[in-house]
Amino acid sequence: MATVNTVTGPIETSELGFTLMHEHIAVRSPGVAENFPSVWNRAEEIERAVTLLRDLGARGVRTIVDATTADIGRDIDFVAEVARRSGMQVIAATGLYWDVPRYFFSRSVDVMADMFVKEINEGIAGTQIKAGVIKCATDEAGATEQLRKVLRACARAHRATGVPITTHTFAAGQTGTEQQDIFESEGVDLSRVIIGHCGDSKDIDYLSRIIGRGSYIGMDRFGLDMFLPTADRVATIAQLCKMGHTDKMILSHDANSYMDWFERSLVEMTVPDWHYNFIPDSVIPALLDSGVTEDEIRQMTVETPRRIFEGCQPY
């Protein structure tokens, strides 16, 4: 039986259950709390995260993928404590986000890839907690010189370990296909890649082209209506299901328990549906109303996540 690393230890892929494939627990600006400690109440935020994930677990969700990388404040001890106390299975990420730290500007692709491989094979930040997914990103500017290095490093780490790749994209700029081009040039089997934030687009041609090259698409920003309203996201998924693409989609929110980029009150006011419970509480009923079947929902939330983490062998 195949296994996947979670922050509380390896589990069999059959134990993943209902999985949200692109979430965050705590997103922080590195260096801020370390120098201005009054901005961060660690104990309070642990309690909040534990409560939120227990509520999510009560709705039948068993696993989340925490796509937080070191450059956006990944704190693996924080995540592990939240996972242990909440009972949620959490898969941690290695890799980098799109605002590449200057440390890497003068380092080679292989130096970066070796760092990612170490987090997968040995552990993160001096712990024995191993990453179970590789994260990388391009945004509105596309694949800049530094982001190309990151994508190539992630591709090489993937090929060395077999751990799947998940990405952040700017769907309006259709940057997912550029990511596929770079991965393919590094010899990556695109069927082992999730092109993220595809749910921000209702362009069926664009989404079909990504799927046609073998990748999964992340319908993974439910609640962020400024990018695409929920009704359009639901309709797009329903149409892709009718086209026979159910098994190439995963669902998520890209939500968090804590993010220091914005005041929490502002987030709650502007995007009130952007939280962990929105898919089980509201999106799944809307999908059912749109003609998506229970079996198709299980495919997107249970079977496809399990398959993504199965057969993770280096090549």
Q: What is the pLDDT of residue 190?
A: 98
CA distance 224 to 255: 9
Residues 279, 245, 224, 68: is their CA dihedral positive or negative?
positive
CA distance 240 to 22: 20
Are 135 and 168 a contacting pair, CB within 8 Å? yes
Are 97 and 69 a contacting pair, CB within 8 Å? yes
Q: What is the pLDDT of residue 22?
A: 98
CATH topology of domain 3-131+218-309: TIM Barrel (3.20.20)
- Helix H or strand E segment including 285: helix 284-289
Around 34, how many Cα atoms within 13 Å sit in the side-chain half-sphere?
A: 6
Are 166 and 218 a contacting pair, CB within 8 Å? yes
Tell me what the mean pLDDT of segment 53-77 comes to: 98
Q: What is the pLDDT of residues 179-216, one digit of tens each?
A: 999 999 999 999 999 999 999 999 999 999 999 999 99
CA distance 143 to 139: 8
The four Cα atoms 69, 73, 74, 80 give a dihedral, to 10 degrees, of -160
Q: Bridge-partner residues for 18, per DSSP? A: 61
CA distance 270 to 46: 24
CA angle 301, 75, 45 (to 5 degrees): 80
Share of the chain above pLDDT 90, in %: 98
Q: What is the pLDDT of residues 236-294, one digit of tens each?
A: 999 999 999 999 999 999 999 999 999 999 999 999 999 999 999 999 999 999 999 99
Q: What is the pLDDT of residue 14?
A: 96
Q: What is the pLDDT of residue 246?
A: 98
Q: How many CB atoms within 10 Å of residue 226?
A: 10
Q: Fill in the DSSP letter of residue 133.
A: E
CA distance 201 to 274: 17
Q: How many CB atoms within 10 Å of residue 254?
A: 22
Are 270 and 262 a contacting pair, CB within 8 Å? no
Q: What is the pLDDT of residue 264?
A: 95
Q: What is the pLDDT of residues 95-123, one digit of tens each?
A: 999 999 999 999 999 999 999 999 999 99
Q: What is the pLDDT of residue 1?
A: 67
Around 1, how many Cα atoms within 13 Å sit in the side-chain half-sphere?
A: 10
Task: Break the chain into its structural domains and give their ranges.
Answer: 3-131+218-309
Q: Is 252 exposed, middle or buried (0-12, 13-18, 19+ CB in 10 A)?
A: buried
Res. 233 pLDDT band, cuts 50 70 90:
very high
Res. 311 pLDDT band, cuts 50 70 90:
confident
CA proximity to 199, closest of 229, 175, 179:
229
Res. 312 pLDDT band, cuts 50 70 90:
confident
